[in-house]
Structure 1
């Protein structure tokens, strides 16, 4: 589409495929304040944040038939009724995964496998409190050793339960449904929605946005992530942004824990950028971003249409970044393997109990737990 052209509302966008599971189209090692105009929507994760903000604008996306871009997975059908009960207090839980599939456009991004196997490189549980004015985000380290429940893969293959499995192996074993089942077993919380973000699409979205401005307090150098940043303020393009949220060896002790801190900070910076670029005055940019975003995510079937995503997003626009509490699931280093972490059960229970009862996560839940010693602070500029 040329810059002067206008999308035909009757023509849906091209199809998309990405994750495992039934699809439905259209429907480690120890390793300043902003003014009121800057009020942003909840950022679930990277690209998902873009979709939420687009929906929150209340204009633009309604006029574009982008349903054909969306891919969805019927989590409810795959998991059946043996799940935690839905909350009856108006709160919601959303599982957001960042997929590190190495096939196609993702091969050049580095790390992981190169055989097309997908793994959940990033996992966040977003808890939206009753009234939808605040949220808590709990990141789950990919290197956490957990007891994975038995899962049925998208092809019907039965995968037996496994003790001492890495958390991110659940996705590669049985796809989205297995990842959701594992998180629900781990937390005891019902995941009301699922959003999966593809890395190469995330990179394109940041470029469509014109980059994201962040400030770092220390140098970050990681050849594996193609990242070389001096301390200071930078406008990161898509490749640099992806390097930032994926770097392990450039910060702290080289573990996933330090990377999680960068991811959480980048989410807020991304939301500020999306809010500030004036999409309502630029329909072409709005369409390009919406087109990239809808090609980039896989959702649960309840969010598998543009209208459903917009309705969902409109319920989140009252959440200010100041009311987003981001933590990492309480873990300790595995004494048998410094490259792995274990759930700190008593403190994790405080987190899950708080969310189950729609209460703030107590500070005691994350005290004296493994942090990754990142040291480097990243903030929105």
Structure 2
């Protein structure tokens, strides 16, 4: 998989490609740089939209220690309740269940000049630890279950517990975006332009695109970041590659529309985003989000590494993947030490074979 600092297929320079990690994180989390809105009625309106969870209270003291080296780690999830407007947008039966279809561990290095993003395939087989959810219910541990079962079982608190158990790294913050809100954000931007190098057809995600240029609606964009059967080898790894390509396309769209310089566009997007986002209590106000987003503005694509968690296909079931423990350990050691993720950590691991399906340049 190409790192984000490498020029894309369309030849756009690396510096133009990223425009900072802030857009990538807020795309996944549903927040698009809320700076400049924290006054009067607007502040109260946006602040009232936000939902937050006291993850620290739910997890208690039995957690990896905070590392006092200036770095910070954030778990970013894209969730889908499979009910209401999410159900109408496809991706599964309207059964009211909650699922985490997208998961990223974002590591901000000391000084906020570099960042690493590790996408975690939802189909990774892991040992889920015992956990207590935000309502105080205790859930027993389970062996050999899919990664996204942690969220389905116990929500955000169990997802954070599982990631901390998997990595040995404390998650300083948690951000979650509802997929229906994600689709509305794309529509308010007027769509997002991409080019597909081959046909994509996946009835499960309500997506059908011919090879060529497209301006995706919110529903189509949601189908693209959900699809797995229509691209690559049909695994969740291919979906992750499409998600990373779409983040770039969305960042380009935001820049082209001048969202960050138009107060009305900024407010409309912030209003939608804050209705869709859930955070830990440490980021549970507009002021905290503004401060956090501002700290990311200096991170350009040349200092951004995006990888998929090192995994291999499960020999017993090609629809599942298993952790490549030796290579994953390289990733976790690097992040714990606030060091760059070595290239060797992803060499020879499963990819999904969908890296060239979407050209967002």
User: After TM superposition, is the score higher than 0.5?
Assistant: yes
Equivalent position to 2:20, from 41, 48, 52:
41
1:62, distance to aligned residue in structure 2 (A): 4.6
Equivalent position to 2:88, from 89, 108, 122:
108
Following superposition, which runs of at least 4 residues in structure 1 exceed 3 angstroms of deviation? 34-39, 43-50, 60-63
Q: Does 1:171 align with 2:151?
A: yes
Measured against aligned partners, the alpha-carbon deviations of 1:289-327 in whole angstroms (never above 9, x if no partner) come to 110000011000000000000000010000113322111
Equivalent position to 2:36, from 19, 37, 59:
59
1:200 aligned partner: 180
Equivalent position to 2:118, from 138, 156, 159:
138
1:34, distance to aligned residue in structure 2 (A): 4.9
2:103 aligned partner: 123
**Farther off after superposition, 181-190 or 86-95:** 86-95
Matches within 5 A, 1:258-273: 258-273=238-253
* In 2: Cα distance, 1:165 partner to 1:205 partner: 33
Kindly tell me: are residues 207 and 85 of structure 1, through their superposed partners in 2, closer, same or farther at Cα, counting changes over 3 Å? Answer: same
Equivalent position to 1:315, from 266, 277, 295:
295
Measured against aligned partners, the alpha-carbon deviations of 1:217-253 in whole angstroms (never above 9, x if no partner) come to 2222222222222233322111111111000111011
* In 1: Cα distance, 2:328 partner to 2:158 partner: 21
Measured against aligned partners, the alpha-carbon deviations of 1:204-224 in whole angstroms (never above 9, x if no partner) come to 001111111222222222222
2:338 aligned partner: 358
2:73 aligned partner: 93
DSSP 3-state at the match of 2:111: coil
DSSP 3-state at the match of 1:54: coil
DSSP 3-state at the match of 2:110: coil
* In 1: Cα distance, 2:232 partner to 2:14 partner: 32
**Farther off after superposition, 310-319 or 272-281:** 272-281
* In 2: Cα distance, 1:118 partner to 1:68 partner: 23
* In 1: Cα distance, 2:185 partner to 2:260 partner: 17
Q: Report if aligned partners of 1:44, 1:126 keep a CA contact under 8 Å in 2.
A: no
Structure 2, unmatched stretches of 5+, are 1-10
Q: Report if aligned partners of 1:227, 1:244 keep a CA contact under 8 Å in 2.
A: yes
Q: Report if aligned partners of 2:130, 2:138 keep a CA contact under 8 Å in 1.
A: yes
**Farther off after superposition, 129-138 or 304-313:** 129-138
Measured against aligned partners, the alpha-carbon deviations of 1:19-69 in whole angstroms (never above 9, x if no partner) come to xxxxxxxxxxxxx32596776231444634662x423xx424556221100
Equivalent position to 1:257, from 223, 227, 237:
237
* In 2: Cα distance, 1:236 partner to 1:376 partner: 18
Q: Does 1:277 align with 2:254?
A: no
2:222 aligned partner: 242
1:102, distance to aligned residue in structure 2 (A): 0.9
* In 1: Cα distance, 2:301 partner to 2:141 partner: 38
Given the two structures, how large is their TM-score scaled by the length of structure 2?
0.91
* In 1: Cα distance, 2:176 partner to 2:79 partner: 7
1:281, distance to aligned residue in structure 2 (A): 4.9
1:268, distance to aligned residue in structure 2 (A): 1.9
1:215 aligned partner: 195
DSSP 3-state at the match of 1:194: strand
1:154, distance to aligned residue in structure 2 (A): 3.1
Equivalent position to 1:290, from 267, 270, 279:
270
* In 2: Cα distance, 1:237 partner to 1:111 partner: 16
**Farther off after superposition, 128-137 or 42-51:** 42-51
Q: Report if aligned partners of 2:78, 2:176 keep a CA contact under 8 Å in 1.
A: yes
**Farther off after superposition, 266-275 or 138-147:** 266-275
1:231 aligned partner: 211
1:202, distance to aligned residue in structure 2 (A): 0.2
Count matched residues: 347
